[in-house]
Amino acid sequence: MPLHRRLPKRGFTNKFRVEYTEVNLDRLDRLPLAEIGLKEMIEHRLIHGESELVKVLGRGQLTSPKTIKAHAFSQSAVKKIEESGGKAITIGKE
């Protein structure tokens, strides 16, 4: 019997899975901007294109208040953004 028939099938691939590009707060803090959206992230090469879904994660700290627009935020990222005096704005998944 061939090897591929002797081994069991493994795993499952969910065709409805949503994949995000992750950006951490420490990378956003390096940008000299008060308002950061998808276009600014592309210009500073944090993401590759506007078709990507972006999730902001909470590694690092913000040293100045920033308004950040992304498709999703982790709970720790929202907490740190609001503690620094900024805003976390969720945009639609178009």
CB 15 within 8 A of CB 47: no
Can you tell me the mean pLDDT for 26-49? Answer: 91
Residue 88: pLDDT above 90?
yes
Residue 81: pLDDT above 80?
yes
What integer best gives the mean pLDDT of the chain?
Answer: 91
Closest alpha carbon to 36 in 69, 61, 58: 69
Q: Where are the domains of the chain?
A: 17-90
Query: What's residue 66's pLDDT?
Result: 92
CATH number for the domain whose boundaries are 17-90: 3.100.10.10
| CA dist., res. 91 & res. 6, Å (int) | 48
Query: What's residue 16's pLDDT?
Result: 94
**What is the token pair recorded at 13?**
């691939």
Can you tell me the mean pLDDT for 27-37? Answer: 91
pLDDT band at 94 (very low <50, low <70, confident <90, very high): low
Can you tell me the mean pLDDT for 32-41? Answer: 92
| CA dist., res. 91 & res. 87, Å (int) | 13
